[in-house]
Chain A
Amino acid sequence: MSKQIEQSVTHSVLSVRRLTLPSHWMNGLMNGLRKAGYLIGSMTLLVLLWEVTSQLSGKALPGPVSTLPIFWDLVSNPFYNYGPNDKGIGLQLLASLGRVFAGFLLGALIAVPLGIAMGVTPFCRQLFDPIVQVLRPVSPLAWFPIGLAVFHLVGPATIFIIFITSLWPTVVNTAFGVSSIPKDHRNVAAVFRFSKWKYLTKVLFPYSLPYILTGLRLSLGIAWMVIVAAEMLSGGTGIGFFVWDSWNALSLERVISAIVLIGLVGLVLDRGFHYIEKRFHYGG
């Protein structure tokens, strides 16, 4: 009798364990399902609002139903190239991304050292801060004529706009990061007489890296926003040109499709950078 009870107890313990073992799988699954649920919900809401707006405008704004086939058309053959005025949307996006990264990297090359200099020496901060403060609020598009005048070519002028755009958030964040190095860290370097190089590589750079990365992420985000406007001005290739060209061809469906794709690419850029940022975050 007692043995039977024992057996049934162990049996139930085992069965409980068998249930609990995959339970954190289950939790993960539930969590994933919940997130997917919210995503589907929010997308449905967006499409619904879009449809309502479309109906209210008397179909002046194309609705989801008329846009979807055109979107599918664009995405299913993204890399065709039928001459300068007819390229696949993938090629247009790549052209824009190329300009964004070229301008962004050039900007980072200038902005990070400038930000470090401004953070380290009050002299540089006093000298450069007014310049940054005056130029930062200027719409980057205002630089387009300057770029054209200097380079005589639309392509480099567009990259120039992105370069200018990319400077400010990185300069400001880098300078802030460097100037906020705690006194404790500076005291350690002073007591143990770190060389300039050791201070730069073992204290200043590791401490400010998260700030620099945040600046770079913001710069890249703004650059991706500005490229669309810049290419509307410059023409030729790129997703901005594609939007403007679609408008001229009176295809709002293509414009809306481009908006969706621009948003998705921007999201991927931001998440990617965010992932890098998190990897370089140190606990106290």
Chain B
Amino acid sequence: MSYLKLENISKVYPTKKGDFQVLQNINLHIERGEFVSLIGHSGCGKSTILNIVAGLEKPTTGKVFLDGEPVTGPGPDRGVVFQNYSLLPWLSVWGNVYEVVDAVFPNRSQAEKKSIVEHYLSVVGLWKHRHKRPDEISGGMKQRAAIARAFAVGPQVLLLDEPFGALDALTRATLQDELVSLWKPTADGNGDGGPVGGTDTVIMVTHDIDEAILLSDRIVVMTNGPAAKVETIITVPIKRPRMRREVIHQSVYNDLKDELLEYLHGRPTVEMR
């Protein structure tokens, strides 16, 4: 029995020109503690899958089960890091994290809630910027705040929608490493799972092949839309902790990259001009 199960998910949007099928018969079984990436061309419905797991969209057919329970709507057990940060612009960085902690743990004491906020803002390096509003910080810092917000409510499953797509390469690499250390803080032996307990299962939507290989246990490759399906699922057999500089020189890394490129762009053909 898998921890997170997607059974026969399909999604049809009714439009003026008739129905538009985004997803068709998606079946996915994700184990507890896995890091799974969804990769595919834009428009293949990978964000739609994420929204369905989050409960923000209803599937046309099929069901999602988390720990045996059917998903009926959005909830803090499935934390979301949105594509465009989605911080509330009138609240400070601190306020953005505090309000969700307050919403999810109404019964905890004020001091407890504040210490949770402090912990996660410190981990992502935003503690000294906590009084700033979102329009006063960089894109990387906004995404850090959004990640801190998602982890601070201790979700069972973390859903990331192209979290680093809008960032420059250097910031992206730093944030990828920070994400891994937040996800499995015990892996490199530096402490507990944080004050609200561990988030150990992650689904990430991405279109970055390197990012997918570096972070994931398994990579789900989608066919092109409309009516996208799961093309294949590739297991990444690289041991953790993965050091960026070492991993990219391993032959298995390059093999995986070739395999993924082939799925996404087809076999290289020789064109005569």
| Chain A residues at the B interface, C-beta cutoff of 8 Å | 184-185, 187-188, 190-195, 198, 202-203, 206-207, 282-284
Contacting residues of chain B (58-107) with chain A, CB-CB under 8 angstroms? 73-76, 78-80, 82, 84, 86, 88-91, 99-100, 102-104, 106
What chain B residues lie within 8 Å of A198 (beta carbons)?
99, 102-103
Q: Are B86 and A193 in contact (CB under 8 A)?
A: no
Question: Which of A185, A187, A188, A206 lies at the interface centre, i.e. has the most chain B CB atoms within 10 A of its CB?
Answer: A188
When A187-B80, A190-B74, A283-B135 are in contact, do A195 and B103 touch as well, CB less than 8 Å?
yes
Query: By the criterion CB–CB under 8 Å, are B86 and A184 in contact?
Result: yes
Determine if B153 is an interface residue (Cβ-Cβ < 8 Å).
yes
Interface core residue of A191, A194, A202, A206 (most chain B CB under 10 Å):
A191
Q: In whole angstroms, what is the CA distance A187 to B55 when docked?
A: 10
Q: Let me know if A282 and B54 touch, CB within 8 A.
A: no
User: How many inter-chain contacts with C-beta < 8 Å in the A-B complex?
Assistant: 64
In the complex, the chain A residue whose C-beta lies closest to that of B159 is: A191
Q: Which of B78, B86, B135 contacts A188 (CB 8 A)?
A: B86
Residues A187 and B89 in contact, CB atoms below 8 Å apart: no
Known: A203-B88, A206-B88, A206-B90. A193 touches B76 (CB 8 A): yes
Contacts of A284 in B (CB 8 A): 89, 134-135
When the two chains form the complex, which single residue of B56, B102, B106, B135 contacts A190, counting CB atoms closer than 8 Å?
A: B56
**Contact residue among B76, B80, B88, B135 (Cβ-Cβ distance under 8 Å from A202):** B88
Q: How far is the CA of A184 from the CA of B135 in the complex (A)?
A: 16
CB-nearest residue of chain B to A189: B103
Residues of B within 8 A of A185 (CB): 86, 88
Q: Measured between C-beta atoms, what is the minimum distance from A233 to chain B in Å?
A: 44
* A191 with B88, Cβ < 8 A, contacts A198-B102, A282-B135, A284-B135 known: no
CA distance A190 to B71 in the complex (A): 14
Are A191 and B78 neighbours in the complex by a CB distance under 8 Å?
yes
Q: Is the CB of B104 within 8 A of A192?
A: yes
Nearest A residue to B86, CB-CB: A184
Chain A to chain B: the 9 pairs with minimum beta-carbon distance, closest first:
A283-B135, A192-B100, A206-B90, A190-B74, A184-B86, A282-B89, A191-B74, A282-B90, A194-B103
Interfacial chain A residues near B74, Cβ < 8 Å: 187, 190-191, 193
Quote the shortest CB–CB distance from B136 to chain A (angstroms): 8
Is B89's CB under 8 angstroms from A191's CB? Answer: no
Which one of B82, B91, B102, B106 contacts A184 once the chains associate, using CB atoms below 8 Å?
A: B82
CB < 8 Å: which of A191, A194, A203 contacts B54?
A191
Are A191 and B56 touching (Cβ within 8 A)?
yes
A73 to chain B minimum Cβ distance, whole angstroms, is 50
Q: Are A283 and B89 in contact (CB under 8 A)?
A: yes
